[in-house]
Structure 1
Amino acid sequence: MSEYDGGMDYGHVEAGQEHESLDQLHQVNASESDYNNQFNVYEQDHAAAESTSFDQGRHVEFTGADGSHYEESNFTSYDHSAAESDHIFAAEGSESSHQAEFSQLDALRAQLNSAFSEATVIDTDTPPSIAAG
């Protein structure tokens, strides 16, 4: 209605309340598993062999015209043998394991309460003003 529709007074008033709620559920389930191993083996071999042989000899034989006979023998013999073997062995290692589980539950509940009031009033006792431009 406008003020030109018979000069009536128009009014509207409203008041009330609103109630709302919010429910939210958040759930997380997680697991983690790790495994690590590290092994090292060190090995070294060494072998040596030596062999020495030394021989020396001398043989003299003489037969004379008169029937005499002379014989001489000198002999030297030397043998040497050696063997050597070395072995080194080393090992090291590590092993680890990890396992974890995680669970989380979040619940949110919110209650929203609000009050409102609204009013619209038209007063027809005051004449409209028109601004001059």
Structure 2
Amino acid sequence: MSEYGDFSTGEQHEALDELHQVDASQEDYQSQFGVFQQDHAAAESTSFDQGHHVEYTGADGSHYEESDFTSYDHSAAETDSVFAAEGSESYNASEFHELNALQARFDAAFAEGTYASN
């Protein structure tokens, strides 16, 4: 009589957890301004007066009068102004986040056998 036996048993567990996360942010601000102003003003005034005066009184008490006059006025004003402004402004911000996680669990158990008898 001959016997032959074969048995096997097994167990297997697997697990894999994976997490991947990325957060990113970026800000940027720039400003540039410039002002330039130039002013010019001028004023001028001239006055010129000229006159002649004659006075005469007649007959016996003679009277004679004469006058000449000249009047001259001149005024001038001038102004110059310059205004300049220049500026610059800048802002920069940056953020970065990253999270990587990996969890692995592998369990295995196995039994195998062979039986033979003669």
Normalised TM-score (structure 1)? 0.49
Secondary structure in 1 matching 2:4 = strand
Which is bigger in relative contact order (C-alpha 8 A, separation at least 6)? 2
Rg larger for = 1
Q: What runs of 5+ residues in structure 2 fail to find an aligned partner?
A: 39-80
Higher normalized strand content (fraction of residues): 2
Please state if 1:78 is matched with 2:51.
Answer: no
Q: What runs of 5+ residues in structure 1 fail to find an aligned partner?
A: 1-27, 104-133
Give the distance between the partners of 2:20 and 2:87, measured in 1 at CA: 44
Give the distance between the partners of 1:98 and 1:78, measured in 2 at CA: 67
Q: CA RMSD in A?
A: 1.9
Secondary structure in 1 matching 2:82 = coil
Q: Which one-letter code corresponds to 2:114 in the other structure?
A: Q
Residue of structure 2 in register with 1:40 after alignment: 13
Q: What do the CA deviations read for 1:20-72 (whole angstroms, capped 9, x no partner)?
A: xxxxxxxx432211122232221121111111111223322110123332011
Q: How many residues align?
A: 76
Q: Which one-letter code corresponds to 1:83 in the other structure?
A: E
Query: Percent identity of the aligned residues?
Result: 4
Instruction: Work out which of the residue numbers 96, 108, 115 in structure 2 matches 1:93.
Output: 108
Give the distance between the partners of 2:14 and 2:36, measured in 1 at CA: 74
Give the distance between the partners of 1:85 and 1:76, measured in 2 at CA: 31
Give the distance between the partners of 2:24 and 2:115, measured in 1 at CA: 65
Instruction: Work out which of the residue numbers 84, 90, 101 in structure 2 matches 1:69.
Output: 84
